[in-house]
Chain A
Amino acid sequence: MKKAFEKLFRSQVWRSMFRHGLPLSNRTRAEAVFYNFFLHVHPTKVRKRSVKFTYTWGLGGLSLGLFIILVFTGGLLMLYYRPSVAQAYWDMKDLQFVVSNGRFLRNMHRWAAHAMVAIVFLHMMRVFYTGSYRPPKEFNWVIGVFLLVTTILLSYTGYLLPWDQLSFWGISVGTNMVKAVPFGLGDTISYLLLGGTMVGENALVRFYVLHCFIIPVAAVVLMAIHFWRVRKDGGV
């Protein structure tokens, strides 16, 4: 067994994908980080203090982890869901009763979305209480605040999509608040958001596009900057 693996790791095919050898020496461990597309967000060495679980509680990483799960389950949900008043709700019912594992898929997406709001908030608390917003990290904190807002908006736009009573009235309550924006802007913003004066067909399509395309892209861009800054600002 061990021999077979060793043979695999030495084979040309494997080596063409992973240039470094097994991470057994510090040299190959460093190579494992900077020859790997995904790992190269990390430096090859990190502070011992910041690796300690009880310093970050892994909350930033878990926020990213939840986002990845949401993209994955969300992509699968998109295969079954059609954003129209006539179909949306019945597609949810199909997910529950017809699609294999559809209910599980939907549950994962729903609970991960709720968890992400909470975890991102907790991450903000950890950053605050460890004083990690101090210079030179002040701008990354600002990016973070935008990420918090983005996360909440992602969750909120998704809330309308099942088109049940919860969604409809949850979104109505929120968009009514928007109408309170002064100088006549409130009605304009709310009209822009809903594509009308009420939550209806247009609102559903708009929230769908916001939820599945516009806001996730914004979140990815903000996260990319966020992670890049973590390193440029000298690491955690």
Chain B
Amino acid sequence: MTAEKDFRAEGSSNPKKVPKRVAFIKPRTAARVKKEDEEMVMTVPNLVIKEIIAFEVMVIVLALISLTFNAPLEWIANPEHTPNPAKAPWYFLGLQELLHYFPPIVAGVILPTLAVIALIVIPYFPINLKQEGLWKEHRRQTLSVLLTVVGIVSVVLLWFDVYAMLVPTLLITALMVVPYFSKKETGVVGWLGTRPLSWWIMTWFIVIVVVLTTIGILFRGPEWSWTWPWHEIY
């Protein structure tokens, strides 16, 4: 018996020369090989038509807003006359609100830097890739770690009187532990039970950002004192 092969390995990108090919797929290749026969549609028209419509709707909405509301223009800049309160643009008011509680190096440098670094490293920590619910395994251990961390954070927040962060933190923690005590697997509680840790942390972060920014925009007046938006918005 001869050991002659009835095939030959050959590399070529010319389909006329080598009509059949073998693909070697490593575990880390593109996501598209995960599901082999996902339903595909033609880009033209299916996607492009939606892009055009979305863009046009956006232009129309922006034009309507621009016809209705004028961009603010106050008096010419005057370094001698500080407005009270002096506010940064809205997307920085969360930070400015932090500045009210913490020393500038914490509020203006350390916390924003940490937030950006935390966002960057999300995909590189296996824990953030987990899709299992928080309480799937090591339930008791998870509970004690969670309560310890929240406890420490709460003490710090209490120390600096940051109720604007303390209250949302405690509320979210409460939602986190509900599925620990309740055995329900359906409805809202069941759904909460399926949320992974990364989901909770991101949701906490977004809630804090939104709460602080809203307070900064609507609830702060002269000397950064608490004011009600129905009295005056500064």
A interface with B by C-beta (< 8 Å): 23, 26, 29-30, 32-33, 39, 42-49, 51, 53, 58, 61-62, 65-66, 69, 85, 89, 92-93, 96, 103-104, 106-112, 114-115, 117, 124-125, 128-129, 131, 133-138, 141-142, 145, 148-149, 152, 155-156, 159, 162-170, 172-174, 176-182, 186, 198-200, 232-235
Cβ 8 A contact of B123, one of A51, A141, A148, A200: A141
Residues of B within 8 A of A106 (CB): 71
The reply to whether A47 and B86 contact each other, CB–CB distance below 8 Å, is no
Residues of B within 8 A of A62 (CB): 54-55, 58
Contact code string B36-65 (vs A, CB < 8 Å = 1, else 0): 001111111111101100110011001101
Question: What's the dominant secondary structure at chain B's contact region?
Answer: helix
Contact code string B99-117 (vs A, CB < 8 Å = 1, else 0): 1000111011100000010
* Distance A166 CA – B82 CA, assembled complex (angstroms): 10
The 9 tightest CB contacts between A and B, nearest first, are A234-B30, A138-B123, A177-B108, A168-B77, A107-B66, A180-B104, A110-B71, A234-B32, A169-B86
Residues of B within 8 A of A110 (CB): 71
Given A170-B86, A170-B89, A235-B31; 10 other pairs, CB 8 A cutoff: A26-B42, A33-B48, A44-B42, A47-B41, A108-B62, A138-B124, A145-B119, A168-B78, A174-B92, A177-B104
Question: What's the dominant secondary structure at chain A's contact region?
Answer: helix
The reply to whether B44 and A47 contact each other, CB–CB distance below 8 Å, is no
When A and B form their complex, what is the total count of cross-chain residue pairs whose Cβ atoms lie within 8 Å? 205
* Distance A142 CA – B131 CA, assembled complex (angstroms): 21
The reply to whether B54 and A23 contact each other, CB–CB distance below 8 Å, is no
Cβ 8 A contact of A111, one of B54, B71, B79: B71
The reply to whether B206 and A45 contact each other, CB–CB distance below 8 Å, is no
Q: Number of residues in B with C-beta < 8 Å to the partner?
A: 70
Contact code string B116-140 (vs A, CB < 8 Å = 1, else 0): 1001101110001101000000000
